[in-house]
């Protein structure tokens, strides 16, 4: 285990990125989009907009954040961009969240 003063800048950046990813996918605004993708397997901007009935600008902003976090992938179709879940990345995010929760619980038990 690393002592605080031996943590490298790279590992610090990875922790910061992991926190940002977890925060992005756990936002209240993200959950309906991710749930839509899970149920339907994906969709276009228009599909998501009509189904969720949210503001187009808010949806665009949230989709960009989810893509940047790696939770969504895009496929260019002839008429529109098609959004799908990035199953591999979500699996990794889930594992990281689970491990963080285990560490938190272990800390509580030691206190």
Output the domain CATH number for residue 33. 1.10.10.10
Instruction: State residue 30 phi and psi, 5-degree precision.
Output: -80, -35
User: Which structural domain, as residue segments, surrounds residue 94?
Assistant: 11-110
pLDDT digit string, tens, across residues 25-37: 889 999 999 999 9
Q: What span, in angstroms and rounded, lies between the C-alpha atoms of 76 and 63?
A: 15
- Domain-located, residue 1: no
Q: What span, in angstroms and rounded, lies between the C-alpha atoms of 91 and 58?
A: 26
Number of separate domains in the chain: 1
pLDDT digit string, tens, across residues 17-70: 777 888 888 899 999 999 999 999 999 999 999 999 999 999 999 999 999 988
- Domain-located, residue 57: yes
């Amino acid at each position: 285990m690393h002592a605080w003063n031996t943590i490298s800048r790279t590992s610090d950046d990875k922790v910061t990125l992991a926190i940002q990813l977890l925060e992005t996918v756990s936002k209240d605004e993200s959950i309906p989009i991710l749930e839509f993708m899970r149920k339907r397997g994906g969709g276009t901007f228009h599909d998501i907009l009509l189904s969720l009935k949210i503001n187009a600008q808010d949806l665009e902003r949230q989709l960009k954040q989810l893509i940047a976090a790696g939770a969504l992938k895009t496929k260019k179709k002839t008429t529109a961009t098609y959004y799908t879940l990035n199953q591999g990345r979500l699996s990794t995010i889930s594992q990281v969240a689970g491990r963080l929760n285990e560490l938190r619980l272990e800390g509580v038990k030691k206190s």
